[in-house]
């Protein structure tokens, strides 16, 4: 039996765990997401339209955590 994982996947899990914990405890002090660049806005729209798979989106969010804030804000508005 062997276990396969990627370093980026392992790093992503370690990186996002404390962030998710702080958010769930209400310790996340940044309430308003920062404005996105035009490219990031287009990426966000494509994701919300279902044109970007979850696996690719998680990589984008790993690189730019602000994207997750914008998704959460948009979903909360609808």
Q: Which residue in 41, 51, 29 sits closest to 74, CA to CA?
A: 41
The answer to whether residue 73 scores a pLDDT higher than 80 is yes
State the CB neighbour count (10 A cutoff) for residue 69. Answer: 19
Number of H helices, E strands in the chain: 4, 0
* pLDDT at residue 25 in the model: 45
The C-alpha R_g of the chain, in whole angstroms, comes to 14
Whole-structure pTM value: 0.58
> Between these two residues, 31 and 17, which has the higher pLDDT value?
31
């Amino acid at each position: 039996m062997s276990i396969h994982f990627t370093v980026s996947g392992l790093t992503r899990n370690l990186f996002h765990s404390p962030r998710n914990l702080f958010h769930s405890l209400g310790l996340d002090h940044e309430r308003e997401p920062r404005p996105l660049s035009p490219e990031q806005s287009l990426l966000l729209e494509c994701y919300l339209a279902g044109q970007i798979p979850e696996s690719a989106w998680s990589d984008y969010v790993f690189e730019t955590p602000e994207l997750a804030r914008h998704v959460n804000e948009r979903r909360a508005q609808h």
